Structure 1
Amino acid sequence: MGVAVLQPYPIPSDKTGQQTIELLTRRIVNLGATPSGQFAVDCEVWNSNQGGINKNLYILHNSEYPATVFSVIESGTKTVSITTEPLFDLLVLKIQSNSYYNKKIRIESKGPRFELKDFLIKLGSVTIGGTVKGILVEVEYLPAIVPVSCWNLIAEFMRGFLGSCVSGVPPPYIKNKAQDTYTPVDTIQQYLEQFNSARKSQR
């Protein structure tokens, strides 16, 4: 586990989502990357409005961590993140049967993953209800554990195959982490932010 950065990549007007993935695949293979399977990150959004208090429960799975379920609970201005075993999925089904949470939507980012020396690259097609909503590129720098120490290196690497869509300004989570150690929950938080942006764009 290193430090990962998620970067949205705009789908050109003359290409489909799949064609864009193929374009990016050619670029990183030309850099020397080798295919290393597939990946998937999915998110189910549940909602409760009991007693006039609106709560969202996000349940996320990452194929890199098959034995872990990531959950984020939002209530007003409070947010709580937890990691659990897969049995948590069964608990949520029980909650659903009691009509506490109503399933609203499923979002997924999946596609090919590649390795290039110290970097792991994942090209994900983001879908909501089976419709492609965008492309997310995850780049993980494996030797690092402190985000601020490797942001410039990751950004420079991403610009090599993504171009000018990569900002020169570190994302908020890197600034906020200061000298903190990066964890898998940080990757999940980034996916959740991007998934919520995709949801809002389709409203």
Structure 2
Amino acid sequence: MGVTVLQQFPMVENRTGPQTIEFLTKRVVALGAVQTGQFLVDCETYMSVPNLASTTKTVHVLHNSEQPASVFSILETGTKTIPLVADGLFDLLMLKMTSIYTSKKQTKIESKGPRFEIGDFCVKLGSVTMSQNFKGVLVEVEYRPCVVAASCWELIREFLQGILGSVVQNTPPPYLQNRMNELYQPIDTIHQYLEQFGAYRKATGVR
């Protein structure tokens, strides 16, 4: 597990989602990358039942195929955010808590697609869908030898810009900016996905 950066790739008019993934695949393969299967990151959101608490609580439950034995959850209570990493039993627990939390099925969102390896980098090209509707493309790049973002951000940025061009900012993504000198953990990747999924939901008019 290294440092991961997530980047939205802007959609071009008259180019579909699959065509965009194919376009990016050709770019990545041209650099010498080899496809090593598929990946999937999904997120389901639960809201606390009204009247049970003074403030509405939101639980985001996420899965990442890179950590198949783990279930990630992020609890939002007003101004506080509490992350939790559990095992597969957490999914069963949420199913038994329907009297407290209700799933917002229409907001279930996922990013999935081909996974590539090139040297010390892992690249994932994800088609983002919400309720089976295509929303956009997310590119994930992981630099595996390093676990401190401040030490490898410039290298990751240069690599990303080599694939995606000028859409990649010179500054790290908002979430990563606050974690530059911390040891990078799998939950940090989950936070980045939640941030990006939230942006897609907001663009759709869904909270």
TM-score range, shorter chain: over 0.9
Q: CA deviation at 1:11?
A: 1.2
- 1:8-31 C-alpha deviation (Å, 9 max, x unpaired): 001111100110000000000001
AA in 2 matched with 1:46: Y
1:8-87 paired onto structure 2 within 5 Å? 8-48=8-48, 49=50, 50-87=52-89
- 8 Å contact kept, 1:148–1:174: no
Bigger drift between 61-70 and 41-50 goes to: 41-50
Distance 2:86 2:45 in 1: 17
- 1:32-79 C-alpha deviation (Å, 9 max, x unpaired): 000000000000001113334111100000000000000000010011
Question: Could you say which residue in structure 2 is the equivalent of 1:160?
Answer: 162
Distance 1:35 1:140 in 2: 15
Q: What secondary structure sits across from 1:20 in the alignment?
A: helix
Distance 1:156 1:91 in 2: 43
Q: CA deviation at 1:161?
A: 1.2
- 1:107-158 C-alpha deviation (Å, 9 max, x unpaired): 0000000000000000000100001101000000011010011111001001
Q: CA deviation at 1:180?
A: 1.1
Question: Could you say which residue in structure 2 is the equivalent of 1:195?
Answer: 197
- 1:68-101 C-alpha deviation (Å, 9 max, x unpaired): 00000001001100000100100000001xx211
Q: Which runs of 5+ in 1 are unaligned?
A: none
Q: What secondary structure sits across from 2:20 in the alignment?
A: helix
Identity of aligned residues (%): 55
Q: Which runs of 5+ in 2 are unaligned?
A: none
AA in 2 matched with 1:174: L
The runs of at least 4 aligned residues of structure 1 exceeding 6 Å deviation read none
Distance 1:72 1:175 in 2: 19
Q: What secondary structure sits across from 1:167 in the alignment?
A: coil
AA in 1 matched with 2:21: I
Distance 1:175 1:101 in 2: 32
- Specify which of 181, 184, 187 is matched with residue 185 of structure 1: 187
Question: Could you say which residue in structure 2 is the equivalent of 1:171?
Answer: 173
Q: CA deviation at 1:177?
A: 1.6
Q: What secondary structure sits across from 1:125 in the alignment?
A: strand
Distance 1:146 1:173 in 2: 14
